[in-house]
Structure 1
Amino acid sequence: HLSFGMRGFFGGMLSDLNTRVDIILLGYFVSDASVGIYSFAAVFAEGFGQISYVVKQNLDPIIGRFTAAKSINQLRSLMRKVALVFVPSILALSIVSALLFPVMVRLFTDDRFLESWPIFTVLLAGIVINAGFRPFQGVFLLTGRPGLHSLFFLIVVLSNAILNVLFIQRMGIMGAVVATSLAYVIESLLILYGIRKILVVKGDGS
């Protein structure tokens, strides 16, 4: 149990680090003013991304029951419901949020923060792409593979960091936006890989 917990804890620590990689690296390559503009958008985008995390927290016990019972058909049905209900909902909400963003900035802050509008919009695009997969982010832990859970986050963090270094040097602040959005895509692909290679295999063996 201690070994399981430690390996899972490492994954959680990397998950927290992943939300700060872009800002940390931006601080090294660009001015404080640019970091401030980016951070303003990133804070709201990250808050928006927490919707998927809340869904994940609610689905984890259900996914755990399905995987323990090797109820793969029920798990597939759950995935379809997420794709058909949650993803369109978060897409619609993201469009409304992107349209309202400049209005809210003008109402409550300085107009200079309008520069963060395209940043917020592109980050939202990455979050929407990720929305159908993040609710299943706990797939490795829920199938008793804490080591793979930590490896998953290690790959995500390293990919995020490498992409940010490469793109920030070439595109500045927008490089961080593109890199972070691509990191969301990589995370989604890794979760999909986990679902296919672990859960489907469980179903075949039942």
Structure 2
Amino acid sequence: MKDELKKITAGSKLVLVGTLVWITLEFLSRVIIGRHFSSEEYGIYNLTLSIFTLSLLLATLGFQSGVPREISYYSEKSPSKVDKLISTALIIIMATSVLVSLVLVINAENIAGIFKNERLISPLRVISLALPFSALSVTITAISRGFGRVKEQICFQNIFYPTILLILIVVVILRQYPFNYVFWAYVGANYLTFLALFILIWKIKLVKIGLLFDSKLGKELLLFSIPLLLSSILGFVMTWIDTLMIGYYLSATSVGVYNAAAPIAKLLPVILNSVAFLYVPVASKLYAQNRVNDLAKIYQSLTRLVFFFTFPVFVIVLLYPETILGYVFGSKYITATPALRILAVGFIVHVLFGLNGMSLVIIGKTTLNLVGELTAVLVNVILNILLIPKYYLIGAAIATTFSYILANLVRSFWLYRLLKIHPFTREYIRQITVSVLTLAVAYLLSVGLFEKSLGFQLIGGVSTFVMYFGIILLSGSVSLKELKVLLE
């Protein structure tokens, strides 16, 4: 088991670095926009971005997941068809992305009418120009993954694109351009990313670019990818539905305030998501060899390690949301404090259960995983409808938190019923107990010593977490061997 754990953690290093760079740069872009422009304009930015993301999902048709599998399959079974498959995929994406972009331009006024904000019209029309470039970049990256390459994903999607976007946003602000120029920055960043990717694959001759279209291959690719598109849409709904429904029921200003809290809370599962990238192939191999006990141990060990490093961040977010929001986004967003606390609870519970959804995929029960996601999405939508008009941002946060908890309970139920796998070993229960006690101590200090000044908060916080890490290690909840493997 040690070798498998080492393989996952070592392989995750590159992915984690790329993910952290992407999250940091994307977060900085949000912070700069949120601090420089009004909360209403920041809300318009988030609404536009959510509509653009949905449009991109529809335009790419699930190819970002389907293309790698099809290329890998045909590379083994029929290598002569690979070039036709790639060309067919690119032609389909060019057509669908241009079509979706036109639909977005034509219906910009109608979409703005849904959210009762005419200021949405211009941003939607501008950002629609980025759609074909973004869709083609996603597809080219998927093609490179089909050949077993992750360089394009990490270097271009995770680093190059958000870096260019951040630079262009800074230029917009330094030159004091109007708010709408932020969306021209998106167009520029997507165009430059596509251009750089295209030049790279042309130079290294990764693929032969041509106007080869095979309707049979296209149909096969679509049939394989459409179910994956459904799963992507469910993921979009879980991520963005609260933003869209706040925009519908409340105002762009409310969207802006809420989206100061949401990105901070969504930082909590970053380690879990990075580990997931390499967990799937390693755990799939164990399952194929019928080594279910080893699979269970890997699942339990990774869950404890990820929770071990994530929990201190959760404590800070839970106890000092006003300080975080004030320093990061500015005082105008402090009203999002209750929402941030509630969302943090939802995401730490998500981390607490570990990679249950990925484990269902590994054992071939993708339908059950989809059922869990679909259930959570439906509950999320219903709760948003019921709670947002009455409880505003707190209602949206409750809906999202409850749906995440429900999804994890459903997935964990099926995983336990099928394989008797769960993360709650005696070591993990001890770890959770120590974590709860640490939270209690930190809370007592926060209403006494910590509240006096930022200096006292830092000293008390460091002392509390030194105690937390020490007790966890002494209790044997997380072993030094596991930490050594992770650090290696």
Q: Which residue of 2 aligns with 1:139?
A: 359
Q: Which residue of 2 aligns with 1:32?
A: 252
Match of 2:269 among 49, 53, 71: 49
Against the structure 1 CA distance between its residues 84 and 47, is the aligned structure 2 distance closer, same or farther, given a 3 Å change threshold? closer
Q: Does 1:187 align with 2:407?
A: yes
Aligned ranges for residues 1-206 of structure 1 at < 5 Å?
5-99=225-319, 101-200=321-420
Deviations 1:15-73 (A, max 9, x none): 12210111111112223222211111112222333332222223222221222222221
Q: Structure 1: 5+ residue runs without aligned partners?
A: 202-206
Against the structure 1 CA distance between its residues 109 and 42, is the aligned structure 2 distance closer, same or farther, given a 3 Å change threshold? closer
Asked if the contact 1:101/1:117 (under 8 Å) is kept, the reply is: yes
Against the structure 1 CA distance between its residues 150 and 113, is the aligned structure 2 distance closer, same or farther, given a 3 Å change threshold? same
Separation (CA, whole Å) in 2 of partners of 1:199 and 1:122: 32
Supply the RMSD in Å over aligned alpha carbons. 2.4
How many positions carry a matched residue from both structures? Answer: 201
Q: Counterpart of 2:394 in structure 1: which amino acid?
A: M
Q: Which residue of 2 aligns with 1:204?
A: none
Separation (CA, whole Å) in 2 of partners of 1:102 and 1:54: 28
1:173 deviates by 1.4
Separation (CA, whole Å) in 2 of partners of 1:172 and 1:30: 8
Separation (CA, whole Å) in 2 of partners of 1:6 and 1:142: 20
1:185 deviates by 0.5
Deviations 1:99-149 (A, max 9, x none): 554334433443121112222122111111110335232233322234334
Deviations 1:86-106 (A, max 9, x none): 223211121124455433443
Q: Counterpart of 1:86 in structure 2: which amino acid?
A: V
Against the structure 1 CA distance between its residues 101 and 174, is the aligned structure 2 distance closer, same or farther, given a 3 Å change threshold? closer
Asked if the contact 2:238/2:400 (under 8 Å) is kept, the reply is: no
Against the structure 1 CA distance between its residues 10 and 108, is the aligned structure 2 distance closer, same or farther, given a 3 Å change threshold? closer
TM-score by length of 2: 0.38
Q: Counterpart of 1:10 in structure 2: which amino acid?
A: L
Asked if the contact 1:25/1:164 (under 8 Å) is kept, the reply is: yes
Asked if the contact 2:269/2:310 (under 8 Å) is kept, the reply is: no
Asked if the contact 1:57/1:135 (under 8 Å) is kept, the reply is: no
1:186 deviates by 0.6
Separation (CA, whole Å) in 1 of partners of 2:277 and 2:345: 22
Asked if the contact 1:67/1:199 (under 8 Å) is kept, the reply is: no
Indicate the structure with greater helix content: 1
1:198 deviates by 3.1
Asked if the contact 2:299/2:355 (under 8 Å) is kept, the reply is: no
Task: Give the number of the structure whose alpha-carbon radius of gyration is greater.
Answer: 2
Deviation larger for 43-52 or 173-182: 43-52
Q: Counterpart of 2:336 in structure 1: which amino acid?
A: S
Separation (CA, whole Å) in 2 of partners of 1:98 and 1:146: 34
Asked if the contact 1:7/1:147 (under 8 Å) is kept, the reply is: no
Against the structure 1 CA distance between its residues 146 and 106, is the aligned structure 2 distance closer, same or farther, given a 3 Å change threshold? closer
Against the structure 1 CA distance between its residues 196 and 6, is the aligned structure 2 distance closer, same or farther, given a 3 Å change threshold? farther
Against the structure 1 CA distance between its residues 185 and 107, is the aligned structure 2 distance closer, same or farther, given a 3 Å change threshold? closer
Against the structure 1 CA distance between its residues 95 and 88, is the aligned structure 2 distance closer, same or farther, given a 3 Å change threshold? same
Against the structure 1 CA distance between its residues 172 and 100, is the aligned structure 2 distance closer, same or farther, given a 3 Å change threshold? closer
TM-score by length of 1: 0.84
Against the structure 1 CA distance between its residues 52 and 165, is the aligned structure 2 distance closer, same or farther, given a 3 Å change threshold? farther
SS of equivalent to 1:137: helix
Q: Structure 2: 5+ residue runs without aligned partners?
A: 1-69, 71-219, 422-488
Separation (CA, whole Å) in 1 of partners of 2:329 and 2:311: 26
SS of equivalent to 1:138: helix
